[in-house]
Amino acid sequence: MKIFVKLKGWFLSFFREGFLYHYSSLEFRAKLLAAMIAIDKKIDECEEKILQEIASQIYKNNEARVYVLINTTKEYVDKVIQKNGLDLNELILEIDKDLKKVKRFYKKINIQQLEKFLECSKDNEEKQITQKHVLEFLQNQIDEHNKSNV
C-alpha cells in the first residue's frame, strides 16, 4: 500500500498542475516552507523532520499531497541552492506577488508552524536572523492585509 501512495505522490508531483485540485495553494505553501529552509543552501535533518511534520499537519489524511508538498518544497530549495533562476530574494518576491494576486493565500500563512524552523538554526545566528526577517515580512503582510479588510 505504501508503494502505491509513493507512486501516486510521484505522479501527482510530476503532473501537479494538471491533476492536483488547488495546486496553486500547495505551490504557495511550498514557497513559504522553502523560504525558511533555503537560507543556508541546504536541507538538514532537523529541517527535513519539521517539513514532514508540517506537511502532515496541513494534509492530515492525504499522504499523496504530503508527498507532493515535500517534493515541491525541495524543488524550490534546490532552485535557490543551484541558483537555477531563483534566489531567496526572488522567492520572497514571488510570495509577495502571490499574496497580492490571491487574497485567500493570507490564510495559508501559519507563523507558528514556520517558527518551528528556528529550532534548527539555534546554532547558526546568521541563519536564524534571516529566518526571523522572513517571519517578520510574512507577519507584516498578514497585518497589512487584516488592516485593509477591517
- How many CB atoms neighbour CB 101 within 10 A? 9
Q: What span, in angstroms and rounded, lies between the C-alpha atoms of 57 and 97? A: 26
pLDDT at 59: 92
pLDDT of residue 46: 97
User: How many C-beta atoms surround the C-beta of residue 21 within 10 A?
Assistant: 7
pLDDT at 62 (0 to 100): 87
Contact (CB, 8 A) for 86 and 17: no
Identify the pLDDT of residue 3: 56
Residue 144 corresponds to which amino acid?
Answer: E
Q: Is 24 exposed, middle or buried (0-12, 13-18, 19+ CB in 10 A)?
A: middle
pLDDT of residue 22: 52
Domain range summary for the chain, segments of one domain joined by +: 2-148
| 10-residue averages of pLDDT along the chain (150 residues) | 50 48 82 94 93 96 89 91 82 94 94 97 94 97 88
Of 126, 29, 111, 120, which is closest to residue 76 (Cα–Cα)?
29
Residue type, 68: V
Query: d(Cα 81, Cα 62) in Å, to the nearest integer?
Result: 29
Q: What secondary structure does DSSP assign to 21-82, as a single string?
A: TTHHHHHHHHHHHHHHHGGGTS--HHHHHHHHHHHHHHTTT-HHHHHHHHHHHHHHHHHHHT
Q: pTM of the entire structure?
A: 0.84
CB 46 within 8 A of CB 109: no
